[in-house]
């Protein structure tokens, strides 16, 4: 039986033009969100599990991503390939993804067929088979995926910088896993990971689109309500020690041009500084008039520059990434990048800059509202990192950030003692 969880948005803070989501809970602990959007006969149905790279230890890195692969291999109810063909035959699409805090699956399809998606997702929550030959076959697939990423200079630098930035927390490990772990993990290790985390009380269902909420609640209860509650997965996320000085790493391998990566520790999404950090990333790198583009790209030092943070449950990293021009001396590029950050921390930002990036966020919000898939993804991601309500309130949060707030977070977090600097320096022949 499902109950609706009270908790309306504060009056006047819900974003205009978008129906408010409603939260429900089954007796087995499954939380789910519904939002009726009747603009077209489409529904996007998602299941989010609170399991990702954050929940792995040395020896099991990459397990969450590998499990994501395995639960597409079929069940007794939907044998291998049947779910894919059925969804495609109904005119729908489906996929899955794994990141540091979550693994998620979705189907977006005509609303008259959405019961099929609900059945498929409920079935694979508990009935994936992990046949030994399928595990062996997929081992090669995930190792190949790992090796494909290794061939990309930007990924290799990202991985090394992350590992250097973290001493204890699992955020320093690659979500795809280390190759040794992928070679040695057993079928039983993967299956135990699946059984531990794929339980209704560790999942969030999100449905957005053309449906009647009462009918959707009934359909979800029918398929998911019969799944027993599991033990609450217990993990003790390591608390990362405060960094007390700059760390540096260098990756040398064939490649086209040098790449600079700077990683600064910043708080988790729930911290009050998060909206100011969102705006800081935009001031630094959103568009041709942004600070880093003006200082690095327009001057001919770099091909591109980006900056920003991610929404995570635990403290993560604000990253600055700059792709050099062939002729640019790396120390000069690094000095110019740091000088621009220091200038912002010292002199602040203008009200015009702040107004511009707020307009950019509002435009992104409108674009993100155009499809039910985007809306459902936003609700789920915000619920994983903090609360789904933030999908509707973050524009109001941004409006409350002042120019002084942006200057303060830059001066607080983007400093030398809190920085891990990584360089990709090409050598040998370009791949």
For helices 187-197 and 132-150, the axis angle rounded to 10 degrees is: 90
Which tokens belong to 91?
A: 């005119």
Nearest CA to 30 out of 45, 49, 7 is that of 49
pLDDT of residue 1: 63
pLDDT of residue 366: 81
332 contacts: CB under 8 Å, gap ≥ 6: 301
Reduced to 3 states, what is the DSSP secondary structure of residue 259?
A: strand
Contact (CB, 8 A) for 41 and 21 = no
Reduced to 3 states, what is the DSSP secondary structure of residue 185?
A: coil
pLDDT of residue 146: 96
pLDDT of residue 131: 97
Strand partners, 424: 251, 259
Which tokens belong to 296?
A: 């690095």
- Euclidean distance between CA atoms 295 and 305, whole angstroms: 10
| Domains of the chain, CATH where assigned | 2-224 (3.30.830.10), 247-426 (3.30.830.10)
Nearest CA to 279 out of 385, 368, 419, 399 is that of 399
Contact (CB, 8 A) for 37 and 208 = yes
Nearest CA to 417 out of 270, 269, 265 is that of 265
pLDDT of residue 17: 60
- Euclidean distance between CA atoms 197 and 68, whole angstroms: 12
- What pLDDT tens digit does each residue of the chain (431 aa) get? 677 676 555 444 445 566 789 999 999 999 999 999 999 999 999 999 999 999 999 999 999 999 999 999 999 999 999 999 999 999 999 999 999 999 999 999 999 999 999 999 999 999 999 999 999 999 999 999 999 998 899 999 999 999 999 999 999 999 999 999 999 999 999 999 999 999 999 999 999 999 999 999 999 999 999 999 999 998 777 899 999 999 999 999 999 999 999 999 999 999 999 999 999 999 999 999 999 999 999 999 999 999 999 999 999 999 999 999 999 999 999 999 999 999 999 999 999 999 999 999 999 888 777 799 999 999 999 999 999 999 989 899 999 999 999 999 999 999 999 999 999 999 875 54
- Euclidean distance between CA atoms 408 and 7, whole angstroms: 32
pLDDT of residue 431: 43
Tell me the pTM: 0.94
Q: Distances in Å between the alpha carbon of 37 and those of 6, 18, 393?
A: 20, 8, 18
Sign, CA dihedral 115-120-124-126, equals positive
Contact (CB, 8 A) for 127 and 392 = no
């Amino acid at each position: 039986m499902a109950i609706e969880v009270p908790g309306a948005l504060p009056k006047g803070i819900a974003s205009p033009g978008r129906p408010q989501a409603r939260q429900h809970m089954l007796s087995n602990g499954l939380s789910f969100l519904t939002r009726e959007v009747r603009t077209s006969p489409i529904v996007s149905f998602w299941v989010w599990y609170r399991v990702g790279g954050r929940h792995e230890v040395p020896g099991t890195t990459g397990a969450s991503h590998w499990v994501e692969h395995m639960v597409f291999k079929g069940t007794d109810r939907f044998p291998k390939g049947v779910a894919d063909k059925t969804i495609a035959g109904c005119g729908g699409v489906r996929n899955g993804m794994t990141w540091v805090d979550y693994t998620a699956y979705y189907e977006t399809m005509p609303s008259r067929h959405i019961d099929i998606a609900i059945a498929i997702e409920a079935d694979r929550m508990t009935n994936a088979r992990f046949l030994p030959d399928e595990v062996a076959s997929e081992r090669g697939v995930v190792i190949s995926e790992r090796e494909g990423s290794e061939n990309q200079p930007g990924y290799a630098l990202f991985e090394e910088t992350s590992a250097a930035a973290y001493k204890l927390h699992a955020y320093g490990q690659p979500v795809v896993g280390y190759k040794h772990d992928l070679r040695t993990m057993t079928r039983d290790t993967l299956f135990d990971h699946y059984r531990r985390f794929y339980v209704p009380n560790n999942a969030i269902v999100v449905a957005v689109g053309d449906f009647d909420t009462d009918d959707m609640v009934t359909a979800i209860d029918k398929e998911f309500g019969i799944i027993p509650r599991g033990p609450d997965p217990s993990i003790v996320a390591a608390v990362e020690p405060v960094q007390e000085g700059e760390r540096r790493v260098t990756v040398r391998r064939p490649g086209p041009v040098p790449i600079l990566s700077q990683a600064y520790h910043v708080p988790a999404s729930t911290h009050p500084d998060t909206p100011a950090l969102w705006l800081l990333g935009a001031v630094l790198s959103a568009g041709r008039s942004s600070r880093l583009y003006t200082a690095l790209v327009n001057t001919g030092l770099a091909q591109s520059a980006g900056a920003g943070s991610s929404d995570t449950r635990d403290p993560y990293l604000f990253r600055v990434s700059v792709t050099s021009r062939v002729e640019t001396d790396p120390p000069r590029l690094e000095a110019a990048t740091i000088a621009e950050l220091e200038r912002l921390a010292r002199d602040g930002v203008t009200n015009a800059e702040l107004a511009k990036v707020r307009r950019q966020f509002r435009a992104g919000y409108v674009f993100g509202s155009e499809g039910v898939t985007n809306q459902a993804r936003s609700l789920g991601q915000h619920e994983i990192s903090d609360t789904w309500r933030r999908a509707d309130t973050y524009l109001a949060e941004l409006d409350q950030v002042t120019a002084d707030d942006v200057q303060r977070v830059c001066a607080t977090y983007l400093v030398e003692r809190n920085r891990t600097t990584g360089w990709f320096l090409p050598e040998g022949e370009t791949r």
